[in-house]
Chain A
């Protein structure tokens, strides 16, 4: 089992990967990626049961993960590669022609670790619930995890899926919402208020917990705690508070770095704040 200290070291490298990837193609989404780094690192390196070397689409006997807010692909790609799903140096192909690392994740190019395309928001929860029901039909005890943006909750399909999961007692799913309070056009509070998210999800029949998404120990504890809440007839939701752009001071806490790449000087500044722990790709 990876120690918290080791997970933090991995997270530092993943953040370097993120800013280098988006800088290299002058496009991509660093803000949400940086904010969710602890979550991805903890999930893939400690919490989920995975077999990267034997990756296959059906994933029977493994935990599954679905990224619904596909635009934060840089953090996912980095974590997948550093867990052995594909070579780390493939990160240099991100968003380039003929790459398996498309701007938004896809199965179309056969990238190991990705089970459905995402990017058009609001669809991933439905897909994950379907996969969770398939696990039940197969007698597979493993879990299904999903991640969503808070802005994404403005999509109506999310609430169709929320209602369905509770009605059908899909209790082998742990969903997480990245509550960073930011979306493209500004703070969620000014764009489209989300209101009381805990009350909303509870009203839809989910068990709701909260965690600080930028504290590695809190993320590990939060995810482990969520596991203990599964199997009780209700789907589980973690409301994860994060700071968009976490780890790079000038990107932190603002929607301005949602989908903007750093220039050369900004990259240099960012890398100066992030220790190279595992070696750059």
Chain B
């Protein structure tokens, strides 16, 4: 029985802000940089507690990435903060050369990812960031699902040596993971066991996957539910084991279908366990202005879309 309950509601960016404050208390080498979005990134508390370890860069993200790379020389652990769009596409070459190729211990922390940024529209709604960051050698890519997981991930990446891309979002969303969870980078959270279909979800789509799974189970369809919070390195064993058991997979993400979680799952299964897959995500399209709920509905990122994809992929199963 799927018994996940909503424990509360908060934005994942607050999980980052609270995690960063704690990481700063745990380790005096943690420093923060922000490109004129301190409030949006929830970095106020860190700035107030550690004014000497906080650096306002102004609206100059390329410089911020270089500064962060430089601060690692001398032993610091920089956390950069800006929107996901300006954390990736705008500064791809700076990240590629000065951080990833140079193997610098920088944590690129990116808020307002995806459609749920809402009314600001497509200029700010990046849906390609997971793909861009995952392609970079040396880069770890993490997309947590709720406040508690984001806070746990923030603390975990402070202890991990190497460049990391941490992606989170703007709106308040359900909290359903526990505050005391152990976050292991690269280790999937196997949320529920079932044998009829596998649902693999990341970020804001995890709770929607839980809702879809509840509906499916009510119909007697059992769901193997996996939360992939670390897109890279991907927990291939968890994916292959589950697909071997169910023979049908759905992926769900607030990202382009191409280049994100779905692509990486497909690549893994094509190599190790060919399995029918249905992909829930944005299909080669930009977003637009609207409320987060309106956008998730219009672009097909709701529980009903995951439910429908599950039904469809089950029908495609290859019978032994």
Taking Cβ atoms with an 8 Å cutoff, the residues of A that contact B are 57-60, 64, 106-108, 115-120, 122-135, 137-138, 140, 156-157, 160-161, 163-164, 167-168
B57 at interface by CB-CB < 8 Å:
yes
CB distance A127 to B60 under 8 Å?
no
CB distance B69 to A130 under 8 Å?
yes
B98 at interface by CB-CB < 8 Å:
yes
B75 to A: closest C-beta gap in Å: 5
Most buried by B among A58, A59, A122, A134: A134
Q: Which residues of B contact A137 (CB under 8 A)?
A: 31, 52-53, 74, 76
Q: State A126–B104 Cα separation when bound (angstroms).
A: 14
Q: State A167–B58 Cα separation when bound (angstroms).
A: 10
Contact residues on B (Cβ < 8 Å of other chain), bracket: 20 to 34
What 3 pairs across the A-B complex have the smallest Cβ distances? A130-B70, A126-B66, A134-B74
CB distance B101 to A138 under 8 Å?
no
Most buried by B among A64, A116, A161: A116
Query: Given contacts A58-B75, A157-B94, is CB(A127)–CB(B62) below 8 Å?
Result: no
Within 8 A of A (CB), among B168-227: none
A113 to B: closest C-beta gap in Å: 13
Chain A residue at minimum C-beta to C-beta distance from B73:
A131
Chain B residue at minimum C-beta to C-beta distance from A106:
B101
Q: Which residues of A contact B93 (CB under 8 A)?
A: 120, 123
Q: State A124–B16 Cα separation when bound (angstroms).
A: 29
- Show 6 A/B contacts (Cβ-Cβ < 8 Å), sorted by A: A120-B97, A126-B70, A127-B67, A134-B71, A134-B75, A161-B60
B27 at interface by CB-CB < 8 Å:
no
CB distance A117 to B101 under 8 Å?
yes
Q: Which residues of B contact A140 (CB under 8 A)?
A: 74
CB distance A60 to B74 under 8 Å?
yes
Q: Which residues of B contact A157 (CB under 8 A)?
A: 60, 62-63, 66, 94
Query: Given contacts A116-B69, A157-B62, is CB(A138)–CB(B57) below 8 Å?
Result: no
B102 at interface by CB-CB < 8 Å:
yes
Q: State A130–B65 Cα separation when bound (angstroms).
A: 9
Q: State A103–B98 Cα separation when bound (angstroms).
A: 16
Q: State A161–B98 Cα separation when bound (angstroms).
A: 14
Query: Given contacts A60-B74, A130-B69, A138-B75, is CB(A116)–CB(B57) below 8 Å?
Result: no
CB distance A130 to B60 under 8 Å?
no
B55 at interface by CB-CB < 8 Å:
yes
Q: State A9–B247 Cα separation when bound (angstroms).
A: 73
Query: Given contacts A107-B103, A157-B62, is CB(A138)–CB(B74) below 8 Å?
Result: yes
Q: Which residues of A contact B133 (CB under 8 A)?
A: none
Chain B residue at minimum C-beta to C-beta distance from A118:
B97
Chain B residue at minimum C-beta to C-beta distance from A68:
B66
State which of B58, B65, B74, B96 has its C-beta within 8 Å of the C-beta of A59: B74
B136 to A: closest C-beta gap in Å: 13
